[in-house]
Amino acid sequence: MISAGDFKNGVTFEMDGNVLQIVEFQHVKPGKGAAFVRAKIKNIITGTVLERTFNPNEKFPLAYVERRIMQYSYTEGDLKYFMDVETYEMVPIDSSKLGDNFKFLKEDMEVKVLSFKGKIFGVELPNFVELEVTSTDPGVKGNTATNATKNAVLETGAEIKVPLFIESGEKIRIDTRTGEYMERA
């Protein structure tokens, strides 16, 4: 059990049948009246974020989110299959549980599969991945005002903006959280 007075960023707990994570919190002690805790909480299964105030003495059961390293194997229809690196068991995950950043997922990539009480609710990609540029327009000299970019298609089929000096066949590093070009690999 955890009391609202002990909240810290990243703590997961159960409330009203939901699994919630503290995104941000603030202990407030007004001049008059009782102290309270103002928190921004995220439902880790649905992804919704809301703000709520708590009495510091309220108690909630802790929720343990399991993070298992798995390797992406293949896609079949709407299911993506991941292999547990410890047991070699194949686990199918519905594509609807995966976010937009999965356009950067390629075969044999290791990811963290998130589950609560055996129910898988999400997958975390590594923060940075290295992918090959399969096609891009040639950079045109004289087209550079500031921070000029062009479209590029990656080996996974994803399209991103890259600087003009990047050519087809080059490996680049991408931030999967923002989908932005970082540097040459």
Convert the pLDDT of each residue in 87-121 to its tens digit: 999 989 887 777 777 888 888 899 988 888 888 87
At residue 21 the predicted structure's pLDDT band, cuts being 50, 70 and 90, is confident
Mean pLDDT over the full length of the chain: 86
Convert the pLDDT of each residue in 29-84 to its tens digit: 988 888 999 999 988 877 788 999 999 999 999 988 888 999 999 888 888 899 99
CA 87 to chain centre: 24
- What is the per-residue DSSP string for 73-127? EEEETTEEEEEETTT--EEEEEGGGS-GGGGG--TT-EEEEEEETTEEEEEE--S
Average confidence (pLDDT) over 8-25: 88
Predicted local confidence at residue 36, as pLDDT: 92
Convert the pLDDT of each residue in 142-162 to its tens digit: 655 667 788 899 998 889 999
At residue 138 the predicted structure's pLDDT band, cuts being 50, 70 and 90, is confident
Predicted local confidence at residue 98, as pLDDT: 73
Residue among 111, 112, 107, 123 nearest 155 (CA): 107
Residue among 25, 2, 14, 125 nearest 65 (CA): 14
Distance CA 119, CA 66 (A): 10
**CB-based contact 175:125 (threshold 8 Å):** no
Predicted local confidence at residue 140, as pLDDT: 67
Average confidence (pLDDT) over 131-143: 79
Identify the structural domains of the chain with CATH numbers, from first to last.
2-60 (2.30.30.30), 66-124 (2.40.50.140), 128-184 (2.40.50.140)
